[in-house]
Amino acid sequence: DAGITQSPRHKVTETGTPVTLRCHQTENHRYMYWYRQDPGHGLRLIHYSYGVKDTDKGEVSDGYSVSRSKTEDFLLTLESATSSQTSVYFCAISERQGNGYTFGSGTRLTVV
């Protein structure tokens, strides 16, 4: 997707290990979001950022932390991965609240 990239695209990790997912944007947008998408649940907000070093929790934030040290990068860390965190993770950006979101291509994470 233009202007936003997620890495890695796929990852398999073991239970109990820390994992960091990266979202990088070239659009200079203020807002960045991390969602997870699971069958039967749709997209659920994990954390979001409204500026450098400004972050807040979403509805499913337990077990996750984020950091945003630069406008272009938003990192999602699973402190100690569990099987319930097996999911597809999407990063999204928006210029201002109320604007449409641009989503990345997603990271498929499997915790074994």
Partner 1 sequence: SQKIEQNSEALNIQEGKTATLTCNYTNYSPAYLQWYRQDPGRGPVFLLLIRENEKEKRKERLKVTFDTTLKQSLFHITASQPADSATYLCAPGPGSQGNLIFGKGTKLSVKP
Q: Assess 2 for contact with partner 1 (CB under 8 A).
A: no
Binder of partner 1 out of 22, 24, 27, 58 (CB under 8 A): 58
Write out the two tokens for 41.
């649940």
Write out the two tokens for 16.
């109990």
Minimum distance between the CB of residue 37 and partner 1, rounded to whole angstroms? 9
Report CA torsion sign: 4, 55, 35, 108: positive
Q: Looking at this protein, which amino acid is placed at residue 83?
A: S
Binder of partner 1 out of 11, 45, 65, 71 (CB under 8 A): 45
Instruction: Please tell me the distance from the alpha carbon of residue 104 to that of residue 112, in angstroms, as a whole number.
Output: 24
Binder of partner 1 out of 29, 106, 109, 111 (CB under 8 A): 106
Torsion of CA 45, 3, 11, 13, to 10 degrees: -50
The alpha carbon of residue 84 and the mean position of all alpha carbons in its chain are separated, in whole angstroms, by: 16
Nearer to partner 1, 33 or 64 (CB): 33
Q: Which stretch binds partner 1 (CB under 8 A): 22-30, 38-46, 63-71, 76-84?
A: 38-46
Residues that bind partner 1 (CB under 8 A): 1, 33, 35, 40-45, 48, 50, 56, 58, 90, 92, 97-106
